[in-house]
Chains A and B, each alone.
Chain A
């Protein structure tokens, strides 16, 4: 996939060149937020469920060392082969080695954000292995040679006309065909042939149960099951934070996950994989890739509670108006902005600033991650680590100096509100981005302090 070096603001600026598309993107995601609201308001116990889920995840993270080993032992006893990958590269090599050992060079894959994070498809392609993504949205972005723009709705940025063109070029649908029903049927026929002929299938993991060694995969399309059940080899890739302690905890998470994601009461399929089917192989890859580091960051470890529902993206007023690709990270939106700096702080130094800190993300989060507070804290870390632009550092030092001194502040203020020229939105001249599409308030004759001195002292 193409990776350019533009930051979030520059990409968002590009996205906003087509205002009609921004409106459409915003309205589409807001509609999903509204479906979520309708759905969760049917459960009077919703807030208690969120609290329980949060506490279970806290427990899981605080005992992760033990739970990982329990999961591993139980999975092995179930007949599953368990692998450990310290980073993306090792994860990719493990997948490749499993395929090589079976002489397999074509694989079908259902949705796994972890494999996006690890850039597995690129790695396997370089090694001569063809991967076909089977989730409809993922297949669409794969045909477009783009990464997903949303973790639950991978092609939410694409209009049906663009999808029709892709399908016409790659899958032979009629030119100009844009009916979602017809296009979905085209993909169904195309992918059915893929499912029936691939000997290996890779899936993600939504939850892995330490108590039993089983793992749960949720889809609406049934593509994870179609791939896994028809293949000889099933590889499930999971971050180490996907562990939950007990099977009965699935009740909490399965109630929260899809209501938060799309407003459905549950995904169409919630499949519990425990043992390989007779005569078949099942592998689980436990991937760290920075997670154990994040676990050690007290201010940021709670981001590992995430169950990848995407609710924070749907509610985020910035995400809705900048698009998932503006975040230049496998996971976009507010949650992506607190996960990505852990992986590469320099490359993702802009992301915690791509927010107004409005706090809506933290409120919709089904596991109560304090997302907007972590965005604020990442900003402090990024500046301290030296990743702030020089101009910004100078401006901030100037502001701090002026605002620490009442005398300078009053003097500056008298000179025609000049103190406020230090404020970012007012700084100086018409080249300031504030003025592109906004006016400044008219400067009043006197400040409040001046009025107060005349009228109250």
Chain B
């Protein structure tokens, strides 16, 4: 017999009687969306992100031009000054200074933003760039992870990731260092 059938047979023989699933919908309404933006900002800043509430693309460009001047900028958002399109062939991912992505979901309780392959096209881009900027509409910030997965629902995605803050490590004597392997900073723009 194959290992597959051996394992499945052993599991079937040894698994206990059915234990029912709990109702997890009880957690969905614990957090209102009213103060979600304020809570998102507090949490995101607490874990090392910088957050800007902006009216539109001009303010985003202003912040970017002041802070990121050392290399190529790549974005899925039109209107970012001097940005290359994600599918442009004229850059190496490893050289990217800043990636800017518009995303469709963010979570107040943990400062995380949800990106899918559809948003970013190249999976490695939000990781390999030196700095990352994510843009989200205020209306798309939900209170909790329960509400986030309610929004995601049965959506089809090939790859998706929650990103909360810059890449970090505390492996050396629990000293927090930003910029482990991925972006050294995360800038979040909230469009009201």
Contacts and interface: CB of A to CB of B under 8 A. Distances in A.
Chains A and B directly touch (beta carbon < 8 Å): yes
Interface in A295-333: 295-296, 298, 301
Interface stretch (B16-24, B56-64, B82-90): B16-24
Interface stretch (B72-80, B133-141, B142-150): B142-150
B3 A225 contact: no
A135 B171 contact: yes
Given A64-B11, A301-B16, A269 B163 contact: yes
Contact of A245 (B16, B21, B171, B174): B21
Contacts of A245: 21
A248 B144 CA distance: 12
A322 B9 CA distance: 40
Interface residues of A, number: 87
Contacts of A447: none
Given A51-B22, A163-B172, A274-B158, A222 B181 contact: yes
A272 B157 contact: yes
B162 interface: yes
B162 A225 contact: no
A49 B181 contact: no
A134 interface: yes
A178 B64 CA distance: 33
A156 B4 CA distance: 37
B163 A191 contact: no
Contacts of A248: 24, 146, 149-150
A188 B157 CA distance: 30
A184 interface: yes
B115 to A, nearest CB: 10
A378 B17 CA distance: 23
A254 B162 contact: yes
Nearest to B17: A62
A180 B172 CA distance: 6
Interface in A27-76: 28, 31-32, 45, 48-49, 51-52, 55-56, 58-59, 61-65, 68-69
A140 B170 CA distance: 13
Interface residues of B, number: 69
B50 to A, nearest CB: 15
A59 B18 contact: yes
A56 B21 CA distance: 6
B3 A85 contact: yes
Interface in A109-136: 134-136
Contacts of A262: 170
Interface of A is mostly: helix
B188 to A, nearest CB: 13
B145 A226 contact: no
Given A52-B24, A226-B127, A183 B159 contact: no
B123 A136 contact: no
A137 interface: yes
B180 A223 contact: yes
Nearest to B157: A274
A352 interface: no
A251 interface: yes
Contacts of A267: 164
Interface in B1-37: 2-4, 6-8, 10-22, 24, 26-27, 30
B167 interface: yes
Contacts of B144: 251, 255
Contact of B177 (A65, A85, A180, A252): A180
B1 to A, nearest CB: 10
B42 to A, nearest CB: 11
A269 B173 contact: no
B7 A251 contact: no
Given A220-B169, A221-B182, A247-B152, A269 B7 contact: no
A412 interface: no
B173 A153 contact: no
A151 B14 CA distance: 27
Interface string A235-262: 0000010000101111110110000001
B69 interface: no
Contacts of B154: 247
Contacts of B109: 255, 265
A156 B170 CA distance: 10
A295 B173 contact: no
Interface in B75-114: 94, 109-112
A203 to B, nearest CB: 13
14 contacts: A62-B17, A65-B12, A84-B3, A86-B7, A180-B177, A188-B180, A220-B167, A226-B124, A226-B127, A266-B162, A268-B182, A277-B159, A292-B10, A301-B16
Nearest 8 Cβ contacts at the A-B interface: A222-B182, A296-B14, A265-B110, A137-B171, A292-B10, A221-B180, A229-B124, A180-B175
